[in-house]
Amino acid sequence: MYPVRATDPTCRNDPEEGDGVVSCWTDNTTMTYYMDSGGDYELESEDRHAVDYSMANDFRTTDLVVTYDSNPTFSGSGETDIIYQEGNPASGSGGVTWCNDAVDGDGRRCDQQYIRIHGGGDYTRGLVCHETGHAVGLQHGNNSLPITGNTNGALGCMQTPVGSSEPLGSNNKFNINAVY
């Protein structure tokens, strides 16, 4: 769980749109998400289904209060927490998460984060769980304490690479519940 000494200890806005350097927690226990942005970033029906499935079967099973925000807020206080987009991640990976609005003076929390995954069926439960895991502070094994291999089964959907149907693991849920 972020922060640990193996990662940058300060949550900040990521102008690189997901360079993989910055991790953050979402700003509170109530986690809202949006995925129907339209235009170049709009998710297809099958991709929206993968997001809804992971939210219902992975993150709603934690202490997080997860709701879909059909009327998203993109600025000011109370922004929609996670915005899912379809497109080519800047990092060149299958998916990426980045902070768009770090909470001033906190160093750990982000008011709004973006998740971008290749579309056209590339959204899977495992990849949605993995990228959403980053948005709530989960990390890869080599960035965790104790350090473990990135393919360790205890990481659940935070394994790298992640399986298409990999769920949030019990260790992931424990860490989320300890923070939120």
**Residues 156/127, Cβ–Cβ less than 8 Å:** no
Residues 103-112 have pLDDT tens digits of 887 788 999 9
pLDDT cut 90: percent of the chain above it? 55
The whole-chain average pLDDT of the chain stands at 88
Q: Which DSSP string do the residues of the chain spell out, in sequence order?
A: ----TTS-SS----TTS--S----EESSSEEEEE----GGGPPPHHHHHHHHHHHHHTGGGSS-EEEE-SS---SSTT--SEEEEES--TTSSSEEEEESSBPTTTSSEES-EEEEE--TT---HHHHHHHHHHHTT---GGGSSS---TT-GGGGGGSSSPPTTPPPPHHHHHHHHHH-
**Ranges 58-67, 74-83, 135-144, most confident:** 58-67
Where do the structural domains in the chain lie, given as residue ranges? 25-137
Burial class (CB in 10 A: 0-12, 13-18, 19+), 27: buried
Of 76 and 91, the structure prediction assigns the larger pLDDT to 76
Whether pTM exceeds 0.85: yes
Say what the pLDDT of residue 162 is. Answer: 93
Fold of 25-137: Collagenase (Catalytic Domain) (3.40.390)
Residues 156-178 have pLDDT tens digits of 999 999 999 999 999 899 999 99
Report the alpha-carbon distance of residue 151 to residue 143 in Å, rounded.
13
Residues 27-43 have pLDDT tens digits of 999 999 999 767 788 89
